[in-house]
Amino acid sequence: MIVPCILLILGAILSLLIRNSKICNILINGISAISCLLIIVVGVGGILSRIVLSLPLGLEMGLDSLSSVFCVVLGIVGFSVSTYSIKYMEIYGRMRYYGVSYTSFILAMYLILIVRNAFWFIFFWELMTLSSYLLVVYEDEKEEVRRAGFKYFVMTHIGVACIIAAVLLLYQQTYLIGVPDMSFSSLSEASRSMPSSVLHLCYLLLLVGFLVKTGAVPLHSWLPDAHPAAPSNISALLSGFMIKTAVYAIIRMFFFVLPMEFWCGILLIASGLLSMFFGGIYALKQVDSKRLLAYSSVENMGYILLGIGAGLSLLATGNLILGSIALSAGILHTVNHAMFKALLFLSAGSVIYRTGKRNMDVLGGLGKYMGMTSSLALIGSLSASGVPVLNGFVSKWLIYSVTASSWKIPILPVCAAVAVMISAITGAFLLKYWSSIFTGRPSEEVKECPRLMIAGEAILAVFCFILGVYPMLALLPIVKVSEDLGIKASIIREQLFLGPFLIGPVTISTISLIAVFSFLSLFLLLTFVFLRPSGIKAEPWFCGTRPSALRFQASSYYRNLEEAMRPAYIKIPRITLRKYEEPDTDRFLVKPIVKAFGKISRAILAPAMGYVQLYLALMFLALLLIVGVIIWIS
């Protein structure tokens, strides 16, 4: 279990020592890839049997089914991204910087999943935030990158502050019950004996802290800026795994550590609904390929939060079966989203690698030259749209089924309806993404990407297929998570896997999926038999005009729809410098807080700004004050 950590630390140190940037690149990414394979092994081991390990300094580590599932996902995504990065990072320099940040990023994410102690959890959370910040501002010569990184940094740290506050409140309670340490088990005991108002405050703080990291509306505004700013392999890791660690944290805290509360679930559902809606409709407008994918991440996190929130509310009100299925649906969508979103970001990265452009209005027709990349991007897009046989469909369907069936909580079926509608919007903007970049008349002549990059993407695509056809591969471990919560897995398995249902309203029967797949495979076979006698080749028909005069721009794709949905976009009334109007989502929540904070700070430190000594003096005075107070008390 420790071996990946050691490997990664070794990689970080080695990257500092090696001067040759090419070797350094291969070394770092190679070591990361190997450690990710080890992480997969650890995860699989954890699924098969529990492991607990105790190190000194309170660093207690353990793998239960929740951690193992996430570990396997981290391993798969990390391995694919590292393989991809071996070739991708050639267009960037500064390998030592990259080496330390990248390895510590993966290390931190891995350790967050394993530790059982709140102190170390926050420590590694901070490490993850810092290293991801360093990676986001990789190209810090560009001003927009720096700004995006800064916004990301500040927002996540406010989140971390909330989390620390909540943990400290809980920790203080552990003193009162006599087990003063920060491990999850003692925090759990402490929370049961806490006064309810303080406990609710803790819940709220934790929610805010984790929702910022998840990229849930209204705390999502860092996501669409940070993902395009980062190099594409980092965006893939950010979207593919980092926002999922927040989901892991939410499940860990709200289901396992703290007693389950109904209204927390409702808050999660509400933010999930908002994220789905806003993520989807803003994604329709985007012209920057990575920004579109970033909004798509926001939308998919909405689905995940919907599933998990539904699970929480249902479990809290006693619907054990539905609740655990909802939770499993949320976790399954987490797994699936990691796969296809990482794939999509890597494909966007391939395009940048060869053309250097992100603007979909300018790109076009690259599928002619980049056939493999185009097919892989297609698999990612179809998977995200929820086409059966690919993995997105299974988890989305499961979420819809559960929420539509839980009519005891009135908001949930409405959420299901909205979710289905948003799913159509997903298909729409992913069509825009894929066809603007890969179809049409070629904008420039490029070569196909190196094989290693395709290999990285291909691994993820294979998993998309596998999880689409045989979702039980992921669902069986996920169901074990509910088992850990105390619900008998056998009931759930009955509901999910074996034919007609008894009382609960949700099933996926294996027969149906196999039937679907066998039909499709039969037809694909027939396709390839019939494809041979192909017809005459001809130019596409342009209604008689010159082909060079026609290009269907990405920005014109959904003009009418955007017009019809104008009230839904919270718009600023002026046209920004960008080519498209960018809705200002920060207006209601983030900007007023920032303004107030700025005013307060300026008022306090107005006379002398920027002198280190003054800050030191103030800190020292504060220290004296605290010491004096302590002495006076004792």
Partner 1 sequence: MNVDLAFLFRFLSSIMVITSVAIIELRDLRRSAYAYMLQSAILSADFSLIAMMTSEWHMYLWTVSSLVTKVLLVPKVLIWATEKTGERIEVKPVLPLTVSFGFEGAIIISLFLVAPFVFPSAESRFPSSIPISLVLFMIGIFGMLSRKCALKQVLCLCHMENGVHLFLASLAYRSPMTVEIGILTDAIAAVVILLYMAIQLKRVVGTLDTFKLSLLRW
Partner 2 sequence: MDLIGGLINLFLVMLIAPVLDGFARKVRARIHCRIGPPILQTWYDIIKLFKKKDIDAEVSSRLYLISPYLSLAFSLVAALIIPIGCKKPPLGFTGDVLLLVYLLASSSLLVAFGSTASGNPFSGIGASRMLSLTVLGEGMLAGSIVTFSVIAGSLRIGSITELLSTSPRLAAAVALIPLAVFVYLESERVPFDIHEAEPEIVGILVEFSGRKLGLIKYSMMIRSTVLATLLIDLAVPWWLADSYMIPFYIISIILWLLLLLLLTLIFTIVDSSLARYRISMAIEGLVPFLCISFLSIVLAFLGV
| 539 touches, from partner 2, partner 1, none (C-beta below 5 to 8 Å by class) | partner 2
- How many angstroms separate the CA atoms of 617 and 314, rounded? 53
Query: What pairs with residue 257 in β-bridges?
Result: none
- The answer to whether 135 and 152 have CB atoms below 8 angstroms apart is no
Give 334 or 507: the residue with its C-beta nearer to partner 2: 507
Could you tell me which stretch among 411-419, 539-547, 577-585, 607-615 binds partner 1 (CB under 8 A)? 607-615
Here the tokens at position 228 are 């395009």
To the nearest whole angstrom, how small is the minimum distance from the Cβ of residue 88 to partner 1? 27
**CA distances to 135, 249, 320, 353 from 482, in Å:** 35, 16, 9, 43
Q: Tokens 């390839």 label which residue?
A: 528
Could you tell me which stretch among 38-46, 369-377, 472-480, 612-620 binds partner 1 (CB under 8 A)? 612-620
- Cα distance from N-terminal residue to C-terminal residue, the chain: 45
Give 49 or 613: the residue with its C-beta nearer to partner 1: 613
Q: Does 634 bind partner 1 (CB under 8 A)?
A: no
To the nearest whole angstrom, how small is the minimum distance from the Cβ of residue 352 to partner 1? 25
| 311 touches, from partner 2, partner 1, none (C-beta below 5 to 8 Å by class) | none
To the nearest whole angstrom, how small is the minimum distance from the Cβ of residue 613 to partner 1? 5
Give 19 or 537: the residue with its C-beta nearer to partner 2: 537
Q: Which of residues 139-198 bind partner 1 (CB under 8 A)?
A: 143, 146
| 555 touches, from partner 2, partner 1, none (C-beta below 5 to 8 Å by class) | none
Q: Does 621 bind partner 1 (CB under 8 A)?
A: no
- How many angstroms separate the CA atoms of 477 and 47, rounded? 6
To the nearest whole angstrom, how small is the minimum distance from the Cβ of residue 616 to partner 1? 6
- How many angstroms separate the CA atoms of 191 and 196, rounded? 9
To the nearest whole angstrom, how small is the minimum distance from the Cβ of residue 153 to partner 2? 36
Instruction: Tell me which amino acid residue 608 is.
Output: A
To the nearest whole angstrom, how small is the minimum distance from the Cβ of residue 105 to partner 1? 20
Cis peptide before 231 (omega within 30 of 0): no
Could you tell me which stretch among 64-72, 538-546, 563-571, 608-616 binds partner 1 (CB under 8 A)? 608-616
DSSP for 179-199 reads ----BHHHHHHHHHTS-HHHH
Give CA 289 to chain center in angstroms. 17
| 414 touches, from partner 2, partner 1, none (C-beta below 5 to 8 Å by class) | partner 2
Q: Under 8 Å CB-to-CB from 295, ≥6 apart: which residues?
A: 223, 224, 279, 280, 282, 283, 286
Give 342 or 415: the residue with its C-beta nearer to partner 2: 415
To the nearest whole angstrom, how small is the minimum distance from the Cβ of residue 573 to partner 2? 23
Q: Does 633 bind partner 1 (CB under 8 A)?
A: no
- The answer to whether 315 and 324 have CB atoms below 8 angstroms apart is yes
| 612 touches, from partner 2, partner 1, none (C-beta below 5 to 8 Å by class) | partner 1
| 413 touches, from partner 1, partner 2, none (C-beta below 5 to 8 Å by class) | partner 2
- How many angstroms separate the CA atoms of 232 and 248, rounded? 24
Instruction: Tell me which amino acid residue 1 is.
Output: M
| 535 touches, from partner 1, partner 2, none (C-beta below 5 to 8 Å by class) | partner 2
- The answer to whether 309 and 265 have CB atoms below 8 angstroms apart is yes
**CA distances to 161, 439, 474, 577 from 363, in Å:** 42, 9, 37, 20
Helix (H) or strand (E) holding 496: helix 489-497
Which of 368, 250, 363 lies closest to 312 in space, CA to CA?
250
Could you tell me which stretch among 24-32, 187-195, 205-213, 614-622 binds partner 1 (CB under 8 A)? 614-622
| 551 touches, from partner 2, partner 1, none (C-beta below 5 to 8 Å by class) | partner 2
To the nearest whole angstrom, how small is the minimum distance from the Cβ of residue 472 to partner 1? 49
The three state secondary structure string of 223-237 is: HHHHHHHCCHHHHHH
- How many angstroms separate the CA atoms of 144 and 229, rounded? 7
- How many angstroms separate the CA atoms of 255 and 484, rounded? 10
Instruction: List the x/- string, 488-527, binding to partner 1 by CB under 8 A.
Output: ----------------------------------------
- How many angstroms separate the CA atoms of 31 and 413, rounded? 47
| 514 touches, from partner 2, partner 1, none (C-beta below 5 to 8 Å by class) | none
Instruction: Tell me which amino acid residue 384 is.
Output: A
Q: Does 612 bind partner 1 (CB under 8 A)?
A: yes
Q: Residues touching partner 1: how many (CB under 8 A)? A: 11
Give 328 or 405: the residue with its C-beta nearer to partner 2: 405
| 541 touches, from partner 2, partner 1, none (C-beta below 5 to 8 Å by class) | partner 2
Give contact residues for partner 1 (rule: CB under 8 A): 143, 146, 609-613, 616-617, 620, 631
